[in-house]
Amino acid sequence: MKIKIDSPLDMHLHLRDEDMLKVVAPLSAQTFSGALVMPNLIPPITTKEQLLDYKNRIEEAKKYNNFKPYMTLFFKSDYTYEFLKEIKKDILAIKLYPAGITTNSEDGVANFSIDVLSPVLEAMSELGIVLSVHGETNGFVMDREAEFIPIYEKIAKRFPKLKIVMEHITTKEAVKALDEYENLYATITLHHLYITLDDVAGGLLRPHLFCKPIAKRPEDRMALRKVAFMAHPKVMFGSDSAPHPRYKKEAPGCAAGVFSAPVALAALAQIFDEADALESLQKFVSQNAQKIYNITPPRKEVVLEKEEFLVPSSYENVVPIFANETLRWKVVDVL
């Protein structure tokens, strides 16, 4: 059994920089037509010069692959309308991080007062720039996303023309919010479709499954699967593939992030097949994102076959999800 996916997109991807960029960029570029690249480098991407330099490094690292990096800026509350108008053509979204809530987010937003955020959000709304959000508070780790929903609601009501993407949602509360506000959208990761907190810490600790936002309860995973498998028009695939070298994962102070990019399409085909939902996979990994972001990605056709695929133990020094496990689908051709 074979299926074809046209122009798959990963709408939430971490490519890092320097040596790590050279390792992971070709792995995404091989099977995806494009990806929304996160800006939380050190220092974060906040200027046009930084943005264009980083894009050039990605273009070089992707090698010969037909792949478009869709760029993002790191949200700052002091961006001017003139700056945003000038840089609009170079970005697809601006990514908002609460300060200190995840990897390299120390320079994120500490004050969520609408009065503080309003000038930038108003400009983004007028210019048609998408707001991408890591939606967590600094409360108890299992409640952080649900606690952030009122902030989404406040922004959605105040700026009804502003497209807001709730990134890597993990809870039934976030799924519910999708249908309550016209301008709320969401990405869903591969790993949150597969795992719950029990898979991370229910037995021996599995550091390569530790991520932020942390995996939640079975009922939350069920809510995510429901909207993904039906290809709800307001959800799209975003891997949140976040590579760290093995020594930073298998260590005290384990770094947060699941590396899924090289196995994402095969693992998605497997879980959608198990749910008898393969007919929805094209929308989930491409068509919905094209409509939400109004983009036309490079043409690429990825052929997957229902055939066993042994996931490598590592890609150089990065361990992927499902390492040393056998998936029941594999990528067999890229046209």
Could you please report the per-residue DSSP string of 62-121?
A: TTT---EEEPEEEP-TT--HHHHHHHGGG-SEEEE-BTTSSTT-TTSBS---HHHHHHHH
Task: Cite the active site residues.
Answer: 240
In this structure, are residues 220 and 195 in contact, taking their beta carbons and an 8 Å threshold? no
177-216 pLDDT, tens digit each: 999 999 999 999 999 999 999 999 999 999 999 999 999 9
122-139 pLDDT, tens digit each: 999 999 999 999 999 999
Q: Which CATH number fits the domain that encloses residue 68?
A: 3.20.20.140
Tell me how long the chain is. 335
How much is the pLDDT for 226? 98
Q: How far is CA 126 from CA 74, 120, 154, 246, 318, in A?
A: 19, 10, 18, 43, 41
CA distance 111 to 134: 15
* 111 phi, psi to nearest 5 deg: -120, 110
Residue 109 has pLDDT above 90, yes or no: yes
Four-CA torsion 20, 21, 26, 31, nearest 10 degrees? 100
Share of the chain above pLDDT 90, in %: 98
* 35 phi, psi to nearest 5 deg: -155, 150
138-154 pLDDT, tens digit each: 999 999 999 999 999 99
How much is the pLDDT for 38? 98
CA distance 61 to 319: 20
| Domain total in the chain | 1
178 lies in which domain range? 2-334
Cα-trace Rg, the chain: 19
227-276 pLDDT, tens digit each: 999 999 999 999 999 999 999 999 999 999 999 999 999 999 999 999 99
